[in-house]
Structure 1
């Protein structure tokens, strides 16, 4: 294997895989854990209590019911049944060195959301006894069966309250709520005669009301959303998600992707059978798993009910490790399943599964499912440029830069300069502008015919180098200036001029707004033909590019001067991002009370777009149904978001606009009565506002707004050179550009939005001549009998206290 491939493989996500049996036949001893590790598993699951404890609880319930019947008393006259403390016979679990390799499960036969108060009370007792004992033993990960969706909305609050109690009982326990992905109820326990739900008294038996259609599909997610909301997005509460045989809609898949999934459970029924009789996963399953594995906190995988661990009856048997080196026939995908594929295997398929499992247990590979997952691990799609660059930055909140008030460190400049696209595109734009200048015979601002180019806010000088390269490639001579206020970067610019630029550049240390222009021999100041800057932030104008370029425009050739960039637009869309909201909520109570008033720069990853472009082509779905290997799958968000333009800035600004701004700056009578938000109002021409409506196709929760930008660096005879962070256009305009992460405008209170509704988002760019800040407000509407009804309105958020200082 060559070094390049080896390095790429080392950087790929590792799949941590466990073995789960719903009804494990033997206690999970340290020897069994070691045996599972010898087979290649990373972990095992274990019930916290056993059948003896189950029998004790059922006996207690039976005695209670008998006492009520025989006494002929109302139930409220009889004390509720109380489960005595755990006994040694009730559990096979105990403190051990291998406890960290175990994922413990609470009893599946309880019903925390039961409408029968006796059943609910017993279930709460069981849960708390088990959680407390698991915590005592040192278990960290506990899986709790989710609420019975057959109860519908009834009992959800009751279930959530019980989970909140359990979180307090086990102070270090990570609770994973077991949820079905597609809204179907997990029926295995309900079929068990020992399930407490089967003892619900007649007067409390409610009609099963699992929803059908789209609402039913989202019922599982809606239940989870209710639980975590009541538990206030608790940091130790997450999801164990069971993948069905047929994955639900892409919209629902994307919604689950945005949630804190810590376990992905793959039951045997999720696997298909390929032509050779091997168990494999559909392309849709592969794509979902691969995408989840890219998360900063990737989930573990559990192979569920694929059969007992082989060789447990023969401790001397040496088992081979699951390497994932499969034959092409074994690794081949199954035929593309039809849309009518049943949620469970057919009897013939089930028989084939069992036959293959028995055959393989006597063959060279005792763990075919595990080997297949290891094969997928070795054949994941390669990481994109952005994924490689952004490793460790996913969903990491960063405060926006203050480039005017702060002097940036060299490492900050260095991060920007690693972009493989941005500076090449700038060089193209400058070269095109120079060629057009020459072709159009425009007069220059120099005495020798060279085009005067000034890089303002030059930093460490990458754009200066690109401007010199553009001059060389276009054959158009330039006179170059580098203007920078940072005294530390100024030292490096001087060194570059001596060592790299052959003293072809005039380096000027000043704030660009105070620069008077190129110094001439007679002591006066000349003009600049092309102004080049890289002042854009994640929302285009949030690092004061409009104010800076307005302030330096007085040096630009008034007749034919060019600004690069020529224009830029800000864009946004509503998103669901529980992880970021929980992070900001924690900051607001521990570090910064104003955390919800800050637009955060963040590499958005674990999120879901709430508004989808209904006119997009179904490329992703067709890709899943086509042939090809796993590493050919595209793991980008499968649905194209509906992203709208907030506002636009163009440069150079019209002279009349700047003339009026100058009048207002002195506070003269002709300049008006001052600004709306303070100051003279000299910068109010750079204020902006918008009110945009977004269709919401599926129910969800809005945690805030994702912001992006697009910019036209230059548009001329050869076309436009553009950059974009907008997910809809970035592939076309500037693929693999990494200089800017999106911006996130959070909401203090998450907003529930129903399916087939609208969100109206209002945003303002405000200024008081000393700083610039944003304000944002979100409203939710639904149509009833043709009338638009407001459902909710958020706080009016304002970043004034953390605004960008001018």
Structure 2
């Protein structure tokens, strides 16, 4: 029998954990791996390896080209600063320049561009030659069948013009290699003595100062991220552009870890210098490094670990070859001892494998089905306009936490009703508590109401309302098979229901004591819960009628989410409103750019809805017009062309978020909380929440709702000490509801002075509003 926490997938106790894909990178490798060498690396425990595209012969040819060009121009007495003169042209690759090419393993090798090219050089000749070399290598690697290509990142961040030159070259490279991924090798931050060791072309031709990193007096941990942000912005957030992030010896503060967490990570590179020796003399990582890697490996598609300069080296390969091809005497002795030559697992790989086995199992929120939803955009449901499929209902019903909380709220409401000796809606004819489940779907709340009534010993009269004719059929079957015909099932839109009939007196219509609904969306009100409850709450008995939920609040926080922005950018052609649609998504690869400070939390409440509402504006308008509540003539309400009958459900908020460090935002993350029932005894209310800092306390492991995302058409970069001001409206024209939002950035430039440094467009989801 497997032990607890077994990794055996056939075991009942199998607990899935993140899987580590481990690659090998040798910064001193000058030639492409042979088949035997690559097999040796795989036998050492690695899953893949990097390989250079060109060799030292090609590098020397480029150096000689530059030097001969200068010498020739000097002999001719030409002014090298004359930009009209033709520059050096790197001729095409030859078989002497590379031994990389199509082969058995080429698709499994990661091509690594020459680290000596200097795309950032201020010397236009060197920059031009470097760009030509990059294009030649990218084109040839693409021809050979490479799937991924790593380009060493800029050596410095202090010259923005240099980084822009680099970024422009990468953008061109994406066109040259149009079918493969390009990964930029970047440090998490510029840690001293942890830069690329290879000499650049500038240094090779005697211009060392052009790429000399110099001595930093003070480390700004965000400069490397700034350079990456410039590169991907110039490249328009290309979907094939990724990061290979070099892990530093000293793990930085959480704010920088979170910044990189949101980026499209393809590799995490860990050099030999990062490892420490444990008491037994084997390599290991510090606790901080372990935690950082663990957090980065929980993605649906986690980055691979690229171990740099940890072996096996050339000597080990030669020794292994001797083992694999022994002398006749050695082979004879091996046969006598019944043994086969084996390749010992690389000690660094052994440690990483140990680290993999020690990972925490995936939680209830990290199941394979949920992992597939990470940062995957879904249009919000339109439950009033559309009839949901059975599979959609089934997904909702798969969350026991939500229904447990609902059952607890219903039970407490029933206990309170009895303890306070409140009259029922049908006192005098029937003493049963009248309960209605509006929008019953396939009936999970109906089941919970019956369970709550049984556990509290409450006699009830239960009504289940559902407008979806298909779900109505299912409810009828449930009533016969499961509920023992204890429920009155009605096919109706809850807003048009005439009310519960008194048993034995079909002509008498009574009120409802407890109204139960699950109309909440990811932003609380985005699936029209307020509008639906407006149409049915008139049936609640007064003054004791209870609505479950009784209130819900919407919350916002500005976030950086480059992956989602890139996804939306690719959709604009076919979906013109992509950037003005509030998307439901399991936000994961994100960075919360705001910090929690007094009076300005990271998550701030936008607005609230409470039920029942004492004043029904729609009914008042109808009464004044002398018409049925379903029709009110158009006029000039808060939105032109509307009567204003739904104006009481409009909302507005203006929120200020504090951002001490510089960064970028791509939109707003939306969440909700709800008080299902607040006991009259003053005890803890029964709540549900999807707020990241509250969900564990109020409804741990609840998965029924993903957050909602309000995108910005253009990323907004902001400096340090910035305040982001968010304005949002919930709008209506009496036929649908939509949101409008705008973000402004103000930087503090003095003790009492703010300067506006950015502003988004006013976004509106009117074209995709939720119809009612």
Q: Deviations over 1:238-291 (max 9, x none)?
A: 111110111111111111010011011110011122222221112222222222
* Structure 1 counterpart of 2:373, from 393, 403, 411: 393
Q: How many residues align?
A: 737
* Structure 2 counterpart of 1:757, from 722, 726, 750: 722
Distance in 2 separating the partners of 1:186 and 1:142: 25
3-state DSSP of counterpart to 1:719: coil
Structure 1 residues 108 and 186: CA distance shift in structure 2, 3 A:
farther
1:723 aligned residue? 688
- Asked if structure 2 preserves the Cα contact closer than 8 Å seen for 1:518 and 1:525, the reply is yes
- Asked if structure 2 preserves the Cα contact closer than 8 Å seen for 1:458 and 1:484, the reply is yes
- Asked if structure 1 preserves the Cα contact closer than 8 Å seen for 2:410 and 2:452, the reply is yes
Structure 1 residues 583 and 661: CA distance shift in structure 2, 3 A:
farther
| 1:524 matches 2:524 | no
TM-score, structure 1 normalization: 0.87
Q: Deviations over 1:499-541 (max 9, x none)?
A: 1111111111100000011113150211000000000000000
For residues 197-346 of structure 1, the aligned pairs below 5 Å read: 197=203, 199=205, 205=210, 213=218, 216-309=220-313, 310-315=316-321, 317=323
Deviation at 1:659, TM superposition (A): 5.0
Distance in 2 separating the partners of 1:311 and 1:669: 84
* Structure 1 counterpart of 2:96, from 84, 89, 105: 89
TM-score, structure 2 normalization: 0.91
List gaps (5 residues or longer) in structure 1: 320-361, 617-639
Deviation at 1:29, TM superposition (A): 1.0
3-state DSSP of counterpart to 2:470: helix
3-state DSSP of counterpart to 2:703: coil
Structure 1 residues 654 and 517: CA distance shift in structure 2, 3 A:
same
For residues 671-686 of structure 1, the aligned pairs below 5 Å read: 673-686=636-649
List gaps (5 residues or longer) in structure 2: 326-340
| 1:381 matches 2:360 | yes
3-state DSSP of counterpart to 2:255: helix
Distance in 2 separating the partners of 1:648 and 1:594: 27
Deviation at 1:304, TM superposition (A): 0.4
- Asked if structure 1 preserves the Cα contact closer than 8 Å seen for 2:53 and 2:114, the reply is yes
3-state DSSP of counterpart to 1:761: strand
1:48 aligned residue? 53
1:610 aligned residue? 593
1:795 aligned residue? 761
Distance in 2 separating the partners of 1:585 and 1:570: 27
3-state DSSP of counterpart to 2:268: strand
* Structure 1 counterpart of 2:16, from 11, 14, 23: 11
2:404 aligned residue? 424
Q: Deviations over 1:694-722 (max 9, x none)?
A: 00121111100000000000001242000
1:158 aligned residue? 165
2:388 aligned residue? 408
1:351 aligned residue? none
Distance in 1 separating the partners of 2:623 and 2:729: 24
* Structure 2 counterpart of 1:443, from 423, 435, 456: 423
1:562 aligned residue? 546
Deviation at 1:152, TM superposition (A): 2.7
Structure 1 residues 210 and 455: CA distance shift in structure 2, 3 A:
farther
State which drifts further: 250-259 or 439-448: 439-448
Distance in 2 separating the partners of 1:256 and 1:199: 35
Distance in 1 separating the partners of 2:714 and 2:624: 39
Distance in 1 separating the partners of 2:564 and 2:67: 48
State which drifts further: 425-434 or 299-308: 299-308
1:620 aligned residue? none
3-state DSSP of counterpart to 1:99: coil
* Structure 1 counterpart of 2:347, from 347, 368, 371: 368
State which drifts further: 147-156 or 560-569: 147-156
| 1:33 matches 2:38 | yes
2:337 aligned residue? none
Deviation at 1:448, TM superposition (A): 2.8
1:348 aligned residue? none
Distance in 2 separating the partners of 1:404 and 1:271: 58
For residues 664-703 of structure 1, the aligned pairs below 5 Å read: 673-703=636-666
3-state DSSP of counterpart to 2:510: coil
Structure 1 residues 317 and 661: CA distance shift in structure 2, 3 A:
farther
Deviation at 1:377, TM superposition (A): 1.6
Distance in 2 separating the partners of 1:488 and 1:393: 27
1:148 aligned residue? 155
Distance in 2 separating the partners of 1:208 and 1:664: 77
State which drifts further: 785-794 or 105-114: 785-794
Distance in 2 separating the partners of 1:22 and 1:665: 81
Distance in 1 separating the partners of 2:377 and 2:632: 45
Q: Deviations over 1:754-794 (max 9, x none)?
A: 11101000000000110000000111111223222111111
Structure 1 residues 199 and 664: CA distance shift in structure 2, 3 A:
farther
Computed over aligned residues only, the root mean square deviation of the Cα atoms, in angstroms, reads: 2.5
2:127 aligned residue? 120
1:73 aligned residue? 78
1:172 aligned residue? 179
Structure 1 residues 188 and 743: CA distance shift in structure 2, 3 A:
closer
Distance in 1 separating the partners of 2:345 and 2:258: 35
- Asked if structure 2 preserves the Cα contact closer than 8 Å seen for 1:661 and 1:683, the reply is no
